[in-house]
């Protein structure tokens, strides 16, 4: 019986050691670099960025692009499709929102954040109507996994966008044009009408000048004289515009109701789950409509949230726990605000909460009572620890 401590019995171990021996004279021993290594990591993956608003660009009647530059002259690289989490203080409430970077990853002088004014929202009306050039902001570094992976995604790409969900697609287009590789990106962009299309002229110009990009507009409420695609982004329309799903990777980004609809349409078309990537886009607008919501519980019912060792406050059952905490001056680290990153985890010590599918809880989270505050809804009085 071979000695368990003898790694030579592991297939490929001896060959790996020979390779290391051969390459070691040409490599770098980072264990001796000390603080230099940490400084390099911090440069590419900073915890915070200090930004200044240099320009505001009108994109549509309801949408603006905020052009942000670094206060110290340096912006870290990012993958087309990633986002930064922008911190704001509005009427004394400290909060944040993640926004996809719409500019090219090859443009390192600024980040563009394209933001649609949602009148019922808290942060977007402020960013689209009240900020002014010269204003300073803080953000996280770029993050997120909604980007092209050359090892797995292939060259035949389809992006299903709705509303401001076009922003990561715009960055992907500009990346593709610079790379000039074998990829082709077909964008199917759903909007109510022509007046709601963001980057309308730029999208059509990219498609006209570059064979690697195709753009199809679909209007649910088109003008009477419109002769293009109408209705919704259905399986029939996707197949007619882009063909069968074999060999394709699909990206979906838009309002949650559209994301769920498009995912179902792709499943109907025969696309496998591994072919479909969906960008999370905030907590459910109507959690009470989701499976598992307690019967007869109104989203306007008030409950008491107690933060262990701190304070108690009242909150509506239909309000995400993270929003309620921020409104009451209790801040925890957060990034995606969509249940993906788990940075806003808190532990539920007592009481019940509703967790929609967006929560993406780990098995260990559920086992030990942790929840993601950004997509968690207290359904009765609760006590939490942070």
Q: Are residues 128 and 208 in the same domain?
A: no
Q: What is residue 30's predicted lDDT score, i.e. its pLDDT?
A: 66
CA distance 185 to 169: 9
pLDDT at residue 56 above 70? yes
Cα distances (angstroms) measured from residue 79 to each of 62, 83, 193, 356: 27, 9, 30, 29
| Mean pLDDT, rounded, for 265-289 | 93
Directed axis angle between helix 256-269 and helix 235-242, to 10°?
70
| Lowest pLDDT segment from 9-18, 25-34, 129-138 | 25-34
Q: What is residue 13's predicted lDDT score, i.e. its pLDDT?
A: 87
Residue 291 lies in a domain: yes
Q: Are residues 243 and 309 in the same domain?
A: no
| Mean pLDDT, rounded, for 116-134 | 95
Structure tokens at 139: 């953000």
Percent of the chain at pLDDT > 90 equals: 80
CA distance 363 to 370: 10
Residue 17 lies in a domain: no
CA distance 18 to 4: 21
Q: Are residues 86 and 181 in the same domain?
A: no
Q: Are residues 259 and 168 in the same domain?
A: yes
Percent of the chain at pLDDT > 70 equals: 97
Give how many domains the chain has, as a whole number.
3
B/e letters for 87-111, b = 16+ CB within 10 Å, e = fewer, are: bbeeeeeebbbbbbbbbbbeeeebb
Q: Are residues 183 and 253 in the same domain?
A: yes
> Which of 104, 139, 174 is at the close of a domain?
139
Q: Are residues 166 and 268 in the same domain?
A: yes
pLDDT at residue 2 above 70? no
CA distance 341 to 356: 15
What CATH number is associated with residue 183?
A: 3.40.50.80
CA distance 247 to 26: 39
| Mean pLDDT, rounded, for 117-129 | 94
Residue with structure tokens 């993406």? 360
Residue 15 lies in a domain: no
Q: Are residues 90 and 199 in the same domain?
A: no
Q: What is residue 247's predicted lDDT score, i.e. its pLDDT?
A: 96
pLDDT at residue 38 above 90? no
User: What's the pLDDT band for 1 if we cut at 50, 70, 90?
Assistant: very low
| Mean pLDDT, rounded, for 307-313 | 95
Q: Are residues 173 and 247 in the same domain?
A: yes
Q: What is residue 298's predicted lDDT score, i.e. its pLDDT?
A: 97
> Which of 223, 258, 278 is at the close of a domain?
278
| Terminal Cα-to-Cα distance of the chain (whole angstroms) | 50
Residue 224 lies in a domain: yes
CA distance 238 to 251: 12
Residue 108 lies in a domain: yes
Q: Are residues 268 and 205 in the same domain?
A: yes
Q: Are residues 296 and 348 in the same domain?
A: yes
Residue 134 lies in a domain: yes
Domain range for 193 is: 156-278
pLDDT at residue 77 above 70? yes
Q: Are residues 219 and 271 in the same domain?
A: yes
Tens of pLDDT, residue by residue over 169-222, are: 999 999 999 998 899 999 999 999 999 999 999 999 999 999 999 999 999 999
What CATH number is associated with residue 132?
A: 2.40.30.10
Tens of pLDDT, residue by residue over 21-33, are: 888 787 767 666 6
Q: Are residues 221 and 269 in the same domain?
A: yes
Helix, strand and coil in the chain, % to nearest 5: 30, 30, 40
| Mean pLDDT, rounded, for 273-286 | 90
Residue 19 lies in a domain: no
Q: What is residue 35's predicted lDDT score, i.e. its pLDDT?
A: 74
Residue 262 lies in a domain: yes
What CATH number is associated with residue 295?
A: 3.10.20.30
């Amino acid at each position: 019986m071979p000695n368990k401590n003898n790694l030579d019995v592991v297939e490929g171990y001896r060959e790996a050691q020979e390779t290391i021996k051969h390459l070691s004279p040409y490599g770098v021993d980072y264990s001796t670099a000390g603080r230099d290594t940490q400084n390099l990591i911090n440069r590419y993956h900073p915890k915070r960025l200090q930004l200044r608003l240099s320009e505001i660009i009108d994109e549509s009647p309801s949408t603006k692009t905020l052009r942000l530059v670094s206060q110290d002259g340096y912006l870290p690289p990012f993958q087309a499709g990633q986002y930064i989490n922008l911190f704001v203080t509005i009427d004394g409430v400290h909060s944040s929102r993640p926004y996809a970077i719409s500019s090219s990853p090859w443009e390192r002088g600024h980040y563009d954040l394209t933001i649609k004014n949602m009148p019922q929202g808290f942060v977007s009306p402020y960013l689209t109507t009240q900020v002014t050039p010269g204003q300073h902001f803080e953000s996280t570094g770029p993050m997120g996994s909604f980007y092209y992976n050359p090892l797995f995604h292939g060259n035949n790409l389809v992006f299903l966008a709705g509303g401001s969900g076009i922003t990561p697609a715009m960055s992907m287009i500009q990346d593709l044009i610079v790379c000039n590789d074998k990829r082709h990106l077909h964008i199917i962009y759903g909007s109510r009408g022509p007046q709601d299309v963001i980057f309308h002229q730029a999208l059509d110009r990219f498609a006209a000048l570059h064979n690697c990009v195709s753009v199809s507009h679909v209007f649910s409420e088109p003008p009477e004289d419109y002769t293009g695609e109408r209705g919704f982004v259905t399986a029939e329309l996707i197949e007619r515009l882009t063909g069968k799903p074999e060999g394709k990777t699909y990206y979906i980004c838009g309002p949650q109701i559209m994301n769920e609809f498009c995912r179902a349409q792709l499943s109907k078309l025969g696309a496998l789950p591994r072919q479909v990537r969906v960008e999370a886009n905030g907590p459910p607008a109507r959690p009470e409509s989701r499976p598992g919501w307690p019967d007869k519980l109104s989203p306007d019912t008030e409950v008491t949230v107690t933060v262990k060792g701190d304070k108690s406050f009242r909150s509506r059952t239909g309000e995400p726990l993270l929003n309620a905490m921020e409104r009451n001056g209790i801040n925890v680290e957060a990034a995606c605000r969509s249940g993906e990153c788990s940075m806003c985890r808190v532990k539920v010590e007592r009481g019940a909460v509703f967790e929609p599918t967006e929560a993406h809880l780990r098995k260990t989270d559920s086992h030990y009572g942790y929840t993601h505050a950004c997509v968690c809804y207290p359904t009765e009085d609760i006590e939490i620890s942070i």
